[in-house]
Amino acid sequence: MGQEQGNSAKIFVDEVSEVAHVVIFQSARMKRLLRAFQEVVLVDTTHDTNANKYNLFSFAVTDFFGKGQYVLHALGKAETKANLRLAIDVFKDCNPTWKNIRVFITDKALHEKAVLAEKFPDACQLLCVYPVITWLERRVSQLSTGSAQDKDKLKAAISSLVMSSSETEYTEGKTYFLRLLGGNEDHELYRTFKAN
């Protein structure tokens, strides 16, 4: 690992192709920000960030002004669990205060959630609402055989469920959603919703 004046970088190269498959970097400023705002960390992966279609895996925190600040970047050839593990291992090596992270906020990427649970077993995970709603609405389009109007009703019901502000509202929304599916608890869309 290269380190200069608090900055850290590590490059993992495939032994066969001799191509970098993960490049991880964290500036001294990023480390200071993490130490200052370490309890809640947002994790996100951006796809096809350059001509070579590398993925950018990032950790961010929210500062005093409510602004997101990056605290780690990892550029990976493929978005695999192994590459995410490498990035997290380097992150932990460079940041001894990682044990103070209490919450990770992620999108719907299941591989991210699995690796985070493995590497940070004491931290809870919350899902960012927008990607969850978007993903569930796509699942409605894929799994519902109804008309466009039926699909619109299902999408609205899904959004209401995700945005529920009370247990009562959630229960009523779930009942309505199930009614739209003909009461079929074995419907793949209902099972997808329950599992996620």
**Contact between residue 27 and residue 34 where contact means Cβ atoms under 8 Å apart:** no
What is the per-residue pLDDT for 114? 87
- pLDDT of 75 > 70? The answer is yes
Q: Which sign does the torsion angle of CA 121, 132, 89, 91 carry?
A: negative
Domain end among 92, 111, 127: 127
Do both 120 and 51 map to the same domain?
Answer: yes
Instruction: Among 127, 155, 173, give the residue marking a domain's end.
Output: 127
Q: pLDDT tens digit string along 16-56?
A: 989 888 999 999 999 999 999 999 999 887 765 666 777 88
Do residues 139 and 95 both lie within one domain?
no
CB atoms within 10 A of CB 54: 21
Q: What is the pLDDT of residue 49?
A: 61
Which of 48, 100, 123, 102 is closest to 78 using CA atoms?
48
Identify whether residues 109 and 84 lie together within a single domain: yes
> Are 26 and 77 found together in one domain?
yes
- Kindly report, residue by residue over 84-107, the tens digit of the pLDDT: 899 999 999 999 999 999 999 887
pLDDT of residue 196: 66
Residues 116 and 142 in one domain: no
Q: What percentage of the chain exceeds 90 in pLDDT?
A: 45
Q: Are 193 and 158 in contact (CB under 8 A)?
A: yes
Number of residues that this document lists for the chain: 196
Give the per-residue pLDDT at 19: 85
| Same domain flag for 139 and 89 | no
79 and 10 within one domain: yes
Model confidence band, residue 74 (pLDDT cutoffs 50, 70, 90):
very high
User: Would you state the pLDDT for residue 66?
Assistant: 85
Same domain, 62 and 110: yes
Same domain, 100 and 186: no
Q: Are residues 106 and 23 in the same domain?
A: yes
Supply the pLDDT for residue 27: 95
Residue at which a domain ends, from 127, 151, 170: 127
The CATH number for 83's domain is 3.30.420
pLDDT at 30: 96
The verdict on pTM exceeding 0.75 is no
Reported as a single tens digit per residue, the pLDDT across 124-179 is: 988 777 777 887 888 888 888 888 898 999 999 988 888 888 999 999 999 999 99
Q: How many domains does the chain have?
A: 2
**pLDDT above 60 for 2:** no
Do 120 and 39 sit in the same domain of this protein?
yes
* 27 & 111 share domain: yes
Residue 3 has pLDDT above 60, yes or no: no
User: What percentage of the chain has pLDDT greater than the value 70?
Assistant: 92
Domain range for 157:
129-195
